[in-house]
Amino acid sequence: MPTTNVYLNFDGNCEEAFNFYKSVFGIEFSHISRLSDMPGNDDQQLPDSAKNQIMHVALNIGSSLLMGSDCGPEWSPNYQQGNNFSISVSADSKDEADQLFASLSEGAKITMPLENTFWGDYFGMLTDRFGVNWMVGYNEEENKNS
C-alpha cells in the first residue's frame, strides 16, 4: 500500500525552517542536499545566490516523513505562501507508481513526467484538476530493504 507525506516548498529559507522543525522534534535530518549537489550544474548554470539553497531535506517524524526544498518564484512560477506544499506518495512498485500517476493525471497539469532520476527514484510531479500538487515516486533500493 502506498504511503503519503507532506512536501513543503520555500522561497530561500528552507534550511532555517527545517532547523527549527529539527529542534522542535529533537531529531536529525534523515537527508539533506543542496542545489550545488545536482550533477551537471556547473558555475555557469547555477547562480551563486542559489548554490547553498536546499534541493531536498527530510525529517522522519514517527512513521511519517516531512520533506522540503527551496523552490520559490524563480523555480516555480505559481509559487505562493499557502500553495507551497505537495502530497508525496511513495509507491511499493514501479507499476503502482505508474497507476497512481496515471489516475491522478486525469485533468491534471503534469509538471514532471514519471522518469528515472539522478537521485535513484522513479519520480514525477503534477497538479491535479483540483489544484493540489502531487509527487509520485518509487525507490527500488528502499523497497528492497523493507
Total number of domains constituting the chain: 2
Answer yes or no: is 85 within a domain. no
Does residue 47 share a domain with residue 117?
no
Give 119-130 as a 3 state SS string: CCCEEEEEECCC
13-40 per-position pLDDT tens digit: 889 999 989 998 889 999 999 988 887 6
34-92 per-position pLDDT tens digit: 988 887 666 557 777 778 889 999 999 888 899 999 885 455 656 666 667 889 998 99
Answer yes or no: is 3 within a domain. yes
Provide the whole-model pTM: 0.69
Answer yes or no: is 84 within a domain. no
Residue type, 104: L
Is the Cα dihedral 61, 21, 111, 82 positive or negative? positive
Q: Which three cell numbers stand for residue 59?
A: 525529517
Q: How far apart are CA 50 and CA 71, in angstroms?
A: 10
Does residue 106 share a domain with residue 64?
no
Answer yes or no: is 86 within a domain. no
| Domain ranges, residue 103 | 91-146
* Mean pLDDT across 98-104: 93
Does residue 125 share a domain with residue 100?
yes
CATH number at residue 98: 3.10.180.10
